[in-house]
Structure 1
Amino acid sequence: KGKLTGTVLLTNKAATDTTLASVRVQFFSTTASGPTIGPFLNLLDYIRLQGLAASLPQGDVSIDRPVIREVRKYLPIDFVLPGQLGFSILFSTLFGIAFTFYGLREQGVLKRFFATPVHRINILIGIGISRIFFQLLSVLVLLLFGHWVLDFTLQHGWISVVQIVSFTVLMLLLLMGVGLIFSSVAKTDATIPLLINLFALPQMLLSGTFFSVEVFPGWLQRICDVLPLKQFNDAVRKISFEGLGWLDCGKEFGVLLLWLVLVYALLSRLLRWE
């Protein structure tokens, strides 16, 4: 992404092969760090190292040619779109599921369902599947529009899309649980937006949605790391731009899974049908 200028590798070769230089100096970087490579090489002072090599017995220091690998430039859209994706599903899912379930309960629709052979869990599954279906459609539209129109990076094409969608399903399940909790504890429909904003606004500001959390002090960054939206945004950025997979996003998956367990454990105690 260009955050690091490059890597300097110093290798002691004398211990394994006395015919080679005792110290080997290598520099690796990418085109994403282009503007900073030159000043860094001056700071590294290759000229001084070469002078040092000349003053030492021959073969003591070996300086390799810098290796600059060409990579795709990290565009602003590569940061912005994952944040907008998380922002979109956060509010639409919370408001959608909370008001839907609250309305069904207050209008007596759920009571009429109970007069049929329909099991309660099937009602929740039906609401959840419909919400996931329409949310995934919006996610796909955002991803494909961003890729084809705004040059958003998808390193592995459709494989990256499938991995992002799978993470989105996990996030949607978590948010639906939160929405059901809010619809159950709210006494009136006017209370629901207050509860949602209380949960969502801190995440919108502290999860790297519009700007990087690196601007915050260290203690606040540690708080940001426990927020589910932060982990979702990070996972989408890793999959899309860095080309990582599920196994490389273990931390993000673990935090989201922990939140999922906690939310549904709380929901099992708070869910109100009447």
Structure 2
Amino acid sequence: MAVKYNQWKALLAMSKASLIGILRSPSAVIFSLGFPLVFILVFGFIGDNGISVKVGVDPTTDTTSYLYRQLANEKSLKLVTDEPAAEMEEALRKGRITAIIRITPQPSQDSVPSSNVKVRTSTASVDKISLFNSILTSLIYKADDNYYPRRSIAKLEPIEVLPGRRYRTIDFILPGLLSFSLLSAAVFSTAFLFYNLRQTLVLKRFFATPIRRLYIVLGEALARLVFQVAGAIVIIAIGYFAFGFTLVHGWSTFIEMLFLTAFGVVVFMGFGFVVSGIANSESTIPPIANVITLPQFLLAGTFVPVDSFPSWLQPLCRIMPLTYLNDAFRKIAFEGQHIWNVGFELGVIAAWGVVVYIVAVKVFRWE
């Protein structure tokens, strides 16, 4: 009596072999884990220091003056005091510093400190000079209020602070990098794999075995799914334990992020099938894949919020599936929403999946 061929056992065997192949591929590991981790470490160590304005201090400045001490205590300013005047002047012309300030004491009839302030800048520093000017003006106004109390047209009551979670840089960056690592790995690895399997006639040899075509695709998909979910676990863990990435509901939020990871990989693999189907040679795969991945890397809110782009560009940004995966990750991780609260985002991604897999079926070739 003939034993019935076990399709699921064959699927698992193919998945195991493919997973081992992925782990032995330096490029797959670097693009899926290496690059995202490097970016996360960079942004994690930068933290929430914000914008820093670099200002040179003229050698003749009175560093004992009240105003200079206030400037030195300002966290958003970095005062340069150890460079020669000629080098500081050259740095100002090249935009490496925003301004050069000189503070000289002025005679005063009472005990109130008085100084003359001169600020020099260049056209190379127009982007930050307004910020420095506002900081300097604010410190002077604050000093005037301390030494010369006067009436005001309005009374500012104490600012009311509501309880809330602190939104760190890592809370914005990590979801974007995680989403993009899923997109790039799914597109590139799937495209290269199936193109090489077809060119080396491995897929054709599979037809001589009892395994069905669907199980071949499912086996390769399962291997990539396991690899990407494992990578997501590493990325989220490093962000959480090393840099305080927010997981509002703890383990449940973590599990929901892994579900989104799996969902995103399945959809994005469709782009890889399309690329492998239309590529005429192995050298054409990277350009075609970059047409899909690079615009989303730049415009889908990976590093910069979509609202920061010009209004005419935002509709294009909101078409891209990566934009909605980024939004879903951030809403679940930081805002505390659940999978059923991001149904719109999942629906848009799923719609992209339907369209891209229809195209993949049309262009996919087994031989």
Instruction: Place the TM-score, normalised by the shorter chain, in its bin.
Output: 0.7 to 0.9
Q: Say whether residues 1:267 and 2:345 are aligned partners.
A: no
Q: How far 1:47 moved relative to its partner?
A: 6.3
SS in 1 for 2:315: helix
Q: 1:87 to 1:116 in 2, by over 3 A?
A: same
SS in 1 for 2:312: helix
Q: Which residue of 2 aligns with 1:28?
A: none
Q: Which residue, 178, 197, 203 being the options, matches 1:110? A: 203
Q: Which residue of 1 aligns with 2:162?
A: 69
Structure 2 spans left out of the alignment, 5+ residues: 1-152
SS in 2 for 1:190: helix
Alignment partners' CA distance in 1, 2:333 and 2:289: 29
Q: Which residue of 2 aligns with 1:241?
A: 334
Alignment partners' CA distance in 2, 1:174 and 1:236: 15
Q: Say whether residues 1:190 and 2:287 are aligned partners.
A: no
Question: CA offsets, 1:123-172, max 9 Å, x none?
Answer: 00000000000011000110011001110000011111111111111211
Alignment partners' CA distance in 2, 1:130 and 1:46: 66
Q: Which residue of 1 aligns with 2:224?
A: 131
CA RMSD, Structure 1 to Structure 2 (Å) = 1.9
Alignment partners' CA distance in 2, 1:162 and 1:205: 28
Q: Say whether residues 1:173 and 2:266 are aligned partners.
A: yes
TM-score by length of 1: 0.75
SS in 2 for 1:154: coil
Q: Supply the AA of the counterpart residue of 1:123.
A: I
Question: CA offsets, 1:49-74, max 9 Å, x none?
Answer: xxxxxxxxxxxxxxxx9864322211
Task: Name segments (4+ residues, structure 1) moved above 2 Å.
Answer: 45-48, 65-69
Aligned residues: 215
Q: Supply the AA of the counterpart residue of 1:165.
A: L
Question: CA offsets, 1:205-233, max 9 Å, x none?
Answer: 10011111221122211211110111001
Q: Which residue, 178, 203, 224 being the options, matches 1:85? A: 178
Q: Which residue of 1 aligns with 2:346?
A: 253
Q: Supply the AA of the counterpart residue of 1:259.
A: W
Looking at CA atoms only, which structure, 1 or 2, has the larger radius of gyration? 2
Q: Say whether residues 1:209 and 2:305 are aligned partners.
A: no
